[in-house]
Structures are given as structure tokens and as C-alpha cells.
A and B are shown apart, each in its own frame.
Chain A
Amino acid sequence: MWRFDRRLLLNFDWVLLGTVLVIGVMGLLNLYSATYTAPAYGTPLYLKQIYFFLGGLLLILAIISIDYRKLMAWNYPLYGASLLLLLAALFLGKTVGGSQRWIPLGFFNLQPSEPAKVMMVITLASYYYRKDTGKGFTLRELAVPVMLTLAPFLLIMKQPDLGTALIFAFIFVSMTLFVKLKWLTLGVLLTFCVTTVPVGWMYFLKPYQKQRIETFLNPEGDPHKAGYHIIQSKIAVGSGLKLGKGYLKGTQGHLDFLPERHTDFAFSVWAEEWGFVGSIFFVATYFFLLLWGMNVVTSSRDKFGAILAFGIISLIFWEAFINLAMVMGLLPVVGMPLPLFSYGGSSLFATLVGIGILMNIRMRRYLAPM
């Protein structure tokens, strides 16, 4: 079972680990700044996040020691388990802010939609790899992956958590486009999407979700309620100017004008305190992480690894992009953490699992295919 090769260690992806650590340290510094003024109950959040991070690194060690191709065999049990967790969240879950997203585990509230994202990537990668003919998928062949995506998507919409649900759609679209599609299939799917959006708007979205989108389109129309997040976040980011207000000196964050400043709006605090220069540094680091991930895709030893790596990169990219665009007022406010940066154990674990898989693929690039 443990076919351990010396080359594995030689090929350990120090660059990827280093990049993740740089982003993680920025996140921790920022978390400290965002929360140190708040009254402390129990363990300070930054300390908790450090524990999560260390735990996540151990998880990476565990993941890289198993050949990623095993995932293909474990694919459906893992998929089933994550669906069960989502169901559990719906029935046993803790309600926070009107939505049932968390399963309380005593020391930690698990948000099952986070691991479900990674499971989704593994499931789709496995499916596409197995069914790949090299000729491109037909509409009928897409029926199964659509169903596989729809199940967690609907469960998460039920919580309701629009942002996370949308990520499933983004992963599906990205990965499906990455493997080959027939042009006809692509055309049909595009038409379908264009027609479903208005229907979804009318029947599918909850009033608060609609309001968020409306607010996004005109935030000044409702400055005290729904538009508040966007306005305050833009003020925080904008007032950072070129060099920022200085670490621990951001006013928007420390005086509570910024809501959710340690989770979804963490980057606002960063941009306020470190300015344009600091923000560019952050975005550049993130960009490097994504480029490196793409490198993992192309250097993968087999097609499964390539699709899997691409899925993970697209997951991290879409989450980061949507979060940053939201914080900068380019997209409506949805619940979406910035991977590796926002506070939150579930998201961090899920992302580090993804990073672990990337390392796994990278390390085994020279191994002979089975």
C-alpha cells in the first residue's frame, strides 16, 4: 500500500508550501489586527486560526503520503459522506443569521459546505477522467455530472447560502469546459443558462438574496441597511491610499464600521492598513499561487491529476475572485471567505486539503503511471 519513493521527498513542493505560508501569515497578521480590539471571550481568534493552520499542515502531510489516485476509488464514498454532512447541517445544524450552515462539534463548528466543495472537485475529476473519450462530452453524458453537482447545490441553497452554492456551479462549469465538450453541447448549455437566470431570479432566490443583488446595483439607495456593507468596505479599501494607514491603525475596522471584518471582509482591513502597495503584494502572491497551480496541472503525470489539479485551482480562484470583487464593490455581497486569509476553520481545512492534493500530484509527477 505505501509505495514510498525517495523521489517523493526530493520532489516535495516547497514553493507551493512557501506561497501558502506567506498568504497564511498575511491572513494571521490581518486577523490579529481585525480582532485585537474586540472583547475577548475564551481563546483569541488569531490563536484559534493558528491551531487550525497547524492542524491543516498535518492534514497535508497525511494527504501527500497517499497517492492521489486512490481518491478515484474513494470518490463515491467521499461524495456520499459529504452529502450526509450537508443533510445533517440542515437538520441538526446551528442557525446563524437565518441560515443553517454549521454542525456544532463542541470545539469547532463544522461548515460541511466547505469540505463538500473539495469533494465536488474530486467527484467531477473522477467522473470526467473515467468517461473521457477524447472526443468531447455530449449533452447526455453530462447528465450524470449535472446531477452530481445539483445534489449539493440544492442542499446548500436550502440552508440558504447562495455564495457557496454558486461556487459549485462555477466549479462545474470550469471543469466541464476544461475537459472537452462538443460544440453543440456548449451551445445548448449556454442557451439554457441564459434562459434560466430570469426564472431563477423569480422563483429561486430568497427575498434577502434578491435584495443583496439589488443593493449591490445601487448601494447608496439604502445606505443604512443592506448597502452598508458595500459602502463601508469601499471606504475602508479606498481610504488605505497608496501606503495604507499602517498596521493596527485602520479606523474602519477597529471602530466597527466594517462588518464581518475577520471573515468575509478581511481583505478590507488589509487594504485599509497596507494600502495599494500592500494590496498589490497580496494579489500578486495569490496570482503566483494560481500560476503555480496551473504548472501542477500541466506537469501532472496523468490526466486524472491534471483535471483534479485544475478543479482545485478553479475552486480557490473563484472563491478568491468573488470575495475580492465583493469587498471592492464589484459584486454583490454573498457569504464567501477569502481562502487561506479569512478566519474560519472549515474553509481553511478545505483549502489546505486542496493544497495537499496539489502537492500530492506535483510530488508524483515523475512516478510511472500505473
Chain B
Amino acid sequence: MVLHKRRVGTRIDNIDDADLLLLKKRVDIATLVIISLIAILIARLWYLQIHLGEEYSHQAEENRVRAQVIPPPRGIITDRHGTVIVGNRPSFNVVWMKEDSPDPEEVLKALANILHLDISVLLDRVRGAASQPPYMPMRLAEDIPWSVLVYLENHRYQLPGVRIDVAPTRQYLNDEFASHFIGYLGELSKKELENRLDDTYQGGDLVGKTGVEARHEAELRGEKGRNYVEVDVRGFEQKQLQVQEPLPGADLALTLDADMQQAAEQAMAGKAGAVVALEVNTGRVLVLASAPAIKLTQWAGGISQKDWQALLDNPLKPLVNKPLQGVYAPGSTYKIVTAHAGLSEGVITPETSIFCAGSISFGNRRYGCWKRGGHGTVSLHRALAESCDVYFYTVGQRLGVDRLAEYAKSFGLGDLTGIDLENEKAGLVPTKAWKKKARKESWQDGETLSVAIGQGFDATTPLQICQMTASLANGGIRYRPQYVEAVADADGKLVSRFTPIVDGEVKGSRQAMALVREGLTAVVNEKHGTGSKARLEGVLVAGKTGTAQVVRLEHYKGVAEGNIPYKYRDHAWFTCYAPADKPEIAVTVLVEHGAHGGSAAAPVAREVLKHYFAGRIAPAEGGQPEAASAPEQAPGDGD
């Protein structure tokens, strides 16, 4: 083609055919490029909206919807008569939306003033909440008193961003009532949270840490509600979407008798020890008291280091739940086992009489009776009633430690009773094999004598002794101690109900048991019985006193009891059941360093029995003090 010189704007040629063809070809190519690129876009749209659409919809929902947790009211705990032991009440908490405060520092200062807190406390809490998203209100104070609440409500305009938030909190019948048994709530620790696989819990949730609250956490906690709100990109609420109401926790009716429990706790006031009462024919726990009590509200917002240390340092060991975690030598209460074993094995008969001169020699040692002057000639009945040590030394010697242990174990001693509470102790029933294994020594025959009267290696918990007493009373059936009468869900529908569990049967003859029971009736009711202080007008009580040596200190021999340092004084036991002819209830009391079972422990048991039988026995005539019906002075106060 000839090169045309063209001058700008002067002449424009029409497109010639060759050029037009060329351009058309290029337009076609360009159109093809456009079509293929648009095809890519359409394929992409299909991929995003159709192929992955559900996935992205889900992500869009996650962006948009936030679930605020509504805490469920925790289940209520009542006693067997429906008395509320642990309920709920609203707790008013101060929360703060920092973003809504134009001058955060000023607000904190004012708040510290109103709450009577140091500003550093508030600053610590603000720092602690630093990791939570900005739209989440920070909690600055819990359970503020009514007066502060009113003040805050009236001054809300001076405190922008500060709000009051209501959450249910535990309300106790009494701060110290059955406190070990009920247990306290605490925040789930970060570690516990991480170890959980499900998402039932989240940080800051209160869970049962001890006792019934911990054991029945799953039933009591209920299900969280969710308040679904639409939020914008900053997390601020735009509108309410849907509310899923929380499901309140199931209510727990315990077998506990609040009245008896209270009586037991009052009787133990100022003392340290344990009181247990079981229903003889079912294993229901009626009383489970540990003294001194702990204050449940101390744990409400997390216990302070100072309070915790004070509890640890307390010589009365308030942190131990003594009915099942306290281990003591059973003392003479063990004679129940020795007597039953001796009769069952035929090494004694009810007529067998043994002479007690106040002591017995065995090997090259003397084993004394608590009554240094001796009981003279005693048979089983008197030996039990007056708790003659020499008699039982002899029975133990005839039985041998292993035969004795078989009976003790069949009573449930030396093993967990299986009560559904944490850290129960098993105690110990010694055998020759045990000593060989544990101590790498052979059994000394003299040790059998100590074991026969509940000293030496014998170790039991008050709950075990009570279970033993109940088994004796009911003719040899070992019921597991249980404390839940019924569980009812939020609608009141019964979820589960108490059913007795038989864990075993006592070895030996029923007749032997009847003979032992006769002896125990004598303990309380005969002239020289050691347990006369448990005598109750209108109800025949049968029981056994006991004294557990804490230390065998010759040093204190003959020293007046009051002059022995508290921590070296003997523990006092009393275990009993009633009515003696048709037993319903077994009560066991242990008073730490109470010295004598008859004087320190028996009156506590009597108090509990009195409340149990309250509706059935006529009020004492003429306002006569009940003690008057007891003999003027219990002759043998202990053993």
C-alpha cells in the first residue's frame, strides 16, 4: 500500500475493504477474549454462590449473629421435708462498657468511691478483662448491697457506660448449715476449662467445687439460654433476633433432715468433730455434720488468700469434712465387732464369764482396763454395758486378728462406704498380711488385744461406725449411705427417686447380733451403763460409748483431764440406734479431744434423737429436766 501523507484534521479516508476485514478479525478476537474472561467471572460466581454458597452463608451468619449467654437458675436443694437449704436470689453486679464512657478514668474513680473500693482493685479487674472483646461489658463488682444499687441507679447519668446486671446467685438457709456437705461454688479455672471437650462451660462460669454442689453439678446447673442479637462489624447490637430461655437446673431433695442437722450442729457448737445419722433400714443420710463449719459465703466471689490461710492454720481443721474424711481409732465402739465375732465364732457364749482385775498380762506387758479397780467377774452383757476392756482382750485373743478382721470388714470397716461425696477415707482394718506388706514386720499377738478394743492400728470414719451400727440394728444388712431423696426437673417431673442399695451382709449369726443389741441397750439403760446420757424419755435407745486414744502418753497418766493439753486429749465416740426394739435410726457422734464418749458425745446423739422422735414422744411431764430421768451419775464414764 502506498504511504499516504495525512495532515491532522484535514482529510480522513474511508475504511477500505482490506482494512475493514482486518479490523473485523481483530474485533472477533477481542470479543472472544471478552467472552472467555466473562465466562471466568460467571464460573466464579457459580463457585462462590452455588458451590460454596452454604459455607459462605454460614460465615455470614457467624459474622452477624452473636449469642449472649443467659445463665440458668441453678437447681434448688431442699431437705427431706421440702425445706429449702440452698436457693437462688438475684445478685446485682456492676458492669461497665468502656466504649460508652467518654472519660473512663473519671468513671472508675467515681465508681471506686461509691463501691468503697480502692481504685487499684477496679484497675486490676479492667486489666483482667483486657482480652475480652470491646463490646462485652466488663464486670467490676458483684452482689452490691441495696444502698449502693439505689445510689448507682440514681446517679446513672453521671456514670456513662456503667450498668447494673442481674444474675442469680446462691442463697443459703444459713451460711454454715451443712456447709461441708452442701459445698460451695467457684469459678471454673482456666485449666479446667481447657481440659473440657464440650462447650457447656465458658470462662467465669460458677460450678460446684465441693460436696453436693460438685457431685450433682450436671443436674443442678441447668442449660444456658441464649439471646441471639444481630451485631454490626464492631460488635454492637443492632437488633434482637431470638431468645432461647435458659432451662433451670433440676431440684434436688436430699434425705437430710434440716431440723436434725441443725440440732446436731448446735449441739456441736464450740466443739470439733462429726455427727452422722442414717436411716437403719435404707441407708438414707439424715444428718451429716462436720464441726467446725465453714462459711459458704466466704467462697462466693472466690475466697481471699488471707481467709484461706486462716482456714488452713486453724487447729480444729475446718477444711476436713470429718464424717467421711476424718479417720479415728474406733475405740470401744469396736467392741460391737469383737462381741459379735466372738459369739458367731463360738469362742464365747453369753454365759462365758471372765474375771477382770483391772488389767491383764500378756507377753511381758500389762494391758489395763479403763476401770483400774477392775469389774470383777463379767459376762458379755455386763462387759458391753460397762465396756470392760479385759473381757474383750480375752475375746480378741481367742479370735485372733484375722478372724476379727473378717467380721470388721463385713461391717464395712476399712473400706469406702461409697457415699457420693469427694475424698472419702477408707480407714484401716489390720490383718497379719496387711502388717507384713505395709510394715514389713510380723504381727505381734499383743497387738490383737489393742485391736479388739478398737485401738492400735484400727482406723475408722464416723460414717463407717454409723453404717456399722445401722447394720447391727437392722439385723446385718449393709446399706450404702445415700443422700438424694429425689431429683425433679424444672417442670417438677421426677427424674429419679431414692432406692436403697445393699452393699453386703454382715458375717455371722443373727442370734449373736441380737445378743450384742441387748448389751447395747444395757449400755444406755442399765445402772452402770456407760451411755446413760443418751437416755431419752419414751424411746428406748441402744448404743456404745468409745474413747479413741490420740497418744499413748504415760506422761499424762493420772493427770486430771482438764490439765491435759487439748490436742493430746482422747477423742470421744458415741454410736447408737433407736428405738432399741424396732430400730429406725442410727446416730454416731465423734467429738475430737472430747475425752469421754459417755459425757461428751452421748448428749449430742441424744439431741439428734430427740429431734427425730420429736413428734412421737410426749413432751416431758411437768417440765422435768430430762437429765433427771438418767441415773444421778453415770458410774463409768467411758472405758
Interface residues of chain A, those whose CB is within 8 Å of chain B, are 69, 72-73, 130, 133-135, 174, 177-178, 180, 232, 234-242, 251-252, 255-257, 271-272, 275-276, 279-280, 283, 286-287, 290-291, 294, 297-298, 300-304, 306, 310, 313-314, 317, 321, 324-325, 328-330, 369-370
Contact = CB atoms under 8 A, between A and B. Distances in A.
B6, B46, B49, B54: which has the most chain A beta carbons within 10 Å?
B49
B56 interface: yes
B243 interface: no
Interface stretch (B20-28, B130-138, B290-298): B20-28
Contact of B60 (A235, A287, A369): A235
A238 B8 CA distance: 53
Nearest to A313: B30
B69 interface: no
A130 B8 contact: yes
B127 to A, nearest CB: 23
18 contacts: A72-B9, A133-B1, A237-B56, A238-B49, A238-B52, A242-B50, A242-B53, A251-B64, A272-B60, A276-B49, A297-B27, A301-B14, A304-B12, A310-B30, A314-B30, A321-B37, A328-B45, A330-B40
A240 B42 contact: no
Contacts of A329: 44, 48
A240 B46 CA distance: 11
Interface stretch (B230-238, B326-334, B558-566, B578-586): B230-238
Given A133-B3, A314-B30, 8 more contacts: A134-B19, A238-B49, A276-B50, A283-B41, A290-B34, A301-B14, A306-B15, A325-B44
A135 B2 CA distance: 10
A125 B163 CA distance: 68
B419 interface: no
Interface of B: 1, 3, 6, 8-9, 11-15, 18-20, 22-24, 26-27, 30-31, 34-35, 37-38, 40-42, 44-46, 48-50, 52-57, 59-60, 63-64, 230-234, 238
A177 B27 CA distance: 11
B49 A241 contact: yes
Contacts of A330: 40-41, 44
Contact of A239 (B12, B57, B238): B57
B131 to A, nearest CB: 15
Nearest to A75: B8
Contacts of A130: 6, 8
Nearest to B6: A130
Contacts of A252: 60, 63-64
A190 B214 CA distance: 76
Given A276-B46, A303-B15, A235 B56 contact: yes
B278 to A, nearest CB: 61
Contacts of B34: 287, 290-291, 294, 317
B569 to A, nearest CB: 68
Nearest to A174: B30
A286 B54 CA distance: 27
A36 to B, nearest CB: 14
Contact of A135 (B1, B11, B57, B60): B1
A234 B55 CA distance: 11
A19 to B, nearest CB: 15
B1 A302 contact: no
Contacts of A239: 53, 56-57, 59-60
Given A134-B19, A235-B63, A321 B27 contact: no
A327 B9 CA distance: 43
B56 A73 contact: no
Contact of B45 (A69, A280, A300): A280
Contacts of A236: 60
Contacts of B63: 232, 235, 251-252, 255, 257
B25 to A, nearest CB: 10
Given A297-B23, A303-B13, A72 B59 contact: no
A279 B49 CA distance: 10
